[in-house]
């Protein structure tokens, strides 16, 4: 999609430069501006999706490490440290989410852009997966505390 928009921007820039009519040139310039906005938002959305996917991998691997520790009961204090570290990572993810809030709400500005909506949907899907991971963390914390009480 980025490539297609970049081509459209190049064509629109050429059309604006060639146009002699002031009114037509103004309309073409408006179209060019919208294309540039779309390209900028799509780039931000793609960056956000990559960021969320990377954060999700951190969470999955952290949960796996915590699970390994719980199953082997090697270091209960270490388990708590890992859980705390994971929770810190989740709060950092929340900071990134708020930073990209404007990108996630693009429908209000340009409405009807299916490519943006599908990218935004992918980001929301990834956020839902992170929320599910958060619930899993709480369950693992409870099991960890229970294991600590048993010892």
Identify which of 15, 10, 9, 2 has the alpha carbon closest to the alpha carbon of residue 34. 9
CA dist 63 and 79 (Å) reads 10
Average pLDDT over residues 124-139: 58
pLDDT in tens, 92-131: 666 666 666 666 665 445 444 444 444 445 445 555 555 5
Q: How far is CA 121 from CA 13, 69, 105, 109, 112, in A?
A: 31, 35, 11, 16, 13
CA dist 79 and 53 (Å) reads 24
Residue 15 inside a domain? The answer is: no
The sign of the torsion formed by the CA atoms of 91, 92, 97, 102 equals positive
Average pLDDT over residues 83-99: 68
| Full domain range(s) for residue 86 | 43-150
pLDDT in tens, 35-52: 999 999 999 889 888 988
**HSE (side-chain half, CA atoms, 13 Å) at 129:** 16
Number of domains in the chain: 1
Residue 140 inside a domain? The answer is: yes
Does pTM surpass 0.75? Answer: no
CA dist 88 and 55 (Å) reads 12
């Amino acid at each position: 999609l980025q490539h297609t928009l970049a081509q459209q921007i190049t064509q629109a820039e050429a059309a604006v430069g060639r146009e002699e009519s002031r009114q037509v040139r103004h309309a073409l310039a408006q179209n060019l501006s919208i294309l540039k906005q779309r390209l900028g938002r799509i780039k931000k959305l793609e960056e956000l999706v990559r960021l969320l996917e990377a954060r999700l991998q951190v969470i999955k691997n952290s949960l796996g490490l915590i699970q390994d520790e719980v199953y082997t009961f090697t270091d209960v204090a270490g388990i708590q440290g890992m859980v705390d570290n994971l929770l810190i990572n989740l709060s950092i993810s929340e900071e990134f989410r708020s930073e990209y809030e404007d990108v996630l709400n693009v429908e209000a500005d340009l409405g009807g852009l299916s490519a943006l909506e599908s990218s935004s949907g992918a980001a929301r899907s990834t956020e839902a997966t992170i929320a599910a991971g958060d619930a899993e963390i709480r369950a693992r914390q409870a099991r960890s505390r229970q294991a600590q009480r048993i010892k």
